[in-house]
A = this chain, B = another copy of it.
């Protein structure tokens, strides 16, 4: 294997992230994984069809079962958490059992939350197979499910025991989901690393062609940045909020479209342009910078506006975002391309009028 390895430094809960091509077939990766004797592999029907059998083959010395869930955001529900808990009980899982989350963000969030709740927390390993999960959701320990009244309202901070990212799994990922993952890649560069953003401007085509070296570089850069943020602020008391760049707008888009029609990453893509635009309107960055963000998002195959959506509905949805405290609007804005900050003093009228330029 040729891979990258890095660590999330969380003291006793420190864990390793391996990134590379072909890792799922690498015996060294499997022998190093901290697994209990009892393993439940949680996957979805699509991903499972490609990889579940191969994973179980690697675990022939363990007591391994597969629990497959339907693909899609609607699976992130308490009903499916309960089914995983039932499967763990059926499997005789004790405190030393391990859950493997094999799939995209939905599977990781769902399986991670079930592992967090079972016997007040058992170990889980993330094997993310979508770009979005590989660059963002599999690292950092946020787990949870949706409630009828809002996304991710129910959940836990529960760090994985290890993360294994095999870039080969991206070969079966649909184009629009690859683009959705690229939104989080652009987000990560914008909030923390201007040079990485320049690299993205030059290598977006290679990424969309799924060039393995380009993918491995982008994924490890994102994981390294996120690992640093999470190690410094695991529970999102401060710096970790920066990872929500573009997400307040993005969540509002998802909310008013009832989580249909837009992928999460697509909404984040448009949200990044909106965040850059608001940053420029407040004088933090130059109009040219907004154009660079817009071009990067477009070159990833992502929407750069929210035509046909109602600006007032978006503003209203934002007021219900759980990131708001005491009803005050809190936005992540850009000080430069590669440096984000938390703004508590956004003028609601300016926000609404800027947002209107992206709608109709």
Interface residues of A (CB under 8 A from B): 37, 78, 82, 85-86, 89, 94-96, 116-121, 142-144, 147, 149-150, 152-157, 235, 322, 324-326
A326 contact from B37, B235, B322, B325, Cβ within 8 A: B37
Contacts of A157 in B (CB 8 A): 120-121
CA distance in complex: A121, B154 (Å)? 9
Main secondary structure of the interface of A (DSSP, over half): mixed
CA distance in complex: A337, B98 (Å)? 38
Q: Report yes or no: A96 in contact with B142, Cβ–Cβ below 8 A.
A: no
Contacts of A89 in B (CB 8 A): 147, 149-150, 153
Given A120-B156, A154-B85, A95 and B322 contact (CB-CB distance below 8 Å): yes
Nearest chain B CB to A81 CB, angstrom units: 8
Contacts of A94 in B (CB 8 A): 322, 324-326
Nearest chain B CB to A47 CB, angstrom units: 25
CA distance in complex: A26, B139 (Å)? 46
Nearest chain B CB to A308 CB, angstrom units: 29
Nearest chain B CB to A342 CB, angstrom units: 14
Could you show 27 A-B contacts with beta carbons less than 8 Å apart? Answer: A78-B78, A78-B82, A85-B153, A89-B147, A89-B149, A89-B150, A94-B324, A94-B326, A95-B322, A95-B325, A96-B325, A96-B326, A117-B117, A117-B144, A117-B154, A117-B155, A117-B156, A118-B154, A119-B155, A119-B322, A120-B152, A120-B155, A120-B156, A121-B156, A121-B157, A121-B235, A156-B156
Contacts of A326 in B (CB 8 A): 37, 94, 96
Q: With CB as the reference atom, state the residue of chain B lying closest to A324.
A: B94
